[in-house]
Amino acid sequence: MALALVMSLGHVACDAGDRVAGTAAVRRPNEVSNGRVEGMKIRMNVEGEVVAATLDDNATSRDFVSLLPLTLTLKDYAETEKVSDLPKRLSTEGAPPGADPSVGDIAYYAPWGNLAIYYRDFGYSNGLVRLGKIDSGAEALNRPGPLKVTIEIVER
């Protein structure tokens, strides 16, 4: 039943006006985003290839889950990560000031409001919040050019 609720809420989008430089859209977390997500499995369909991942339990991950299912176009950034804007800014409540991503990390870069999926190691970045880690299929992301990806919940 919770999965059905998440899926019905997954197509929530923000107006472009919520993306004012330097500010985040303020939204009260809904009932779904207040639930625990630690160990929640997600699946990313990357142009026909499956990437499996597990989310961490933090406010940013819970807010990300409220957007799922979600279809994005990932673009290469610095030959290190695939990035895409999200339909709204995510909560960073309680998040550390930054993170040091590794290969397979899924993160939210708060200053730009985008999703970042790392296929190469990178150094510490202020404003980066880890959402989770790829369990399998990461090689699907290590391709040049933009990639269409659909992200959905597999299980809680």
pLDDT digits (tens, 9 = 90+) for 94-131: 999 999 999 999 999 999 999 999 998 999 999 999 99
Alpha-carbon distance of 133 to 141, in angstroms, equals: 13
**Nearest of 60, 61, 69 to residue 151 by alpha carbon:** 69
Q: What is the mean pLDDT of residues 57-63?
A: 95
- How do residues 61-77 score in pLDDT, each as one tens digit? 999 999 999 999 999 99
**Nearest of 110, 103, 106, 115 to residue 128 by alpha carbon:** 110
Contact by Cβ (8 Å): 150, 69: yes
Q: What's the confidence (pLDDT) of residue 35? A: 53
Q: What is the mean pLDDT of residues 46-73?
A: 96
Q: Where are the domains of the chain?
A: 2-13+41-155
State how beta strands 128-136 and 49-55 pair. antiparallel
Distances (CA, A) of 118 to 36, 61, 100, 115: 24, 16, 11, 10
Q: What's the confidence (pLDDT) of residue 100? A: 97
Query: What is 2-13+41-155's CATH topology?
Result: Cyclophilin (2.40.100)
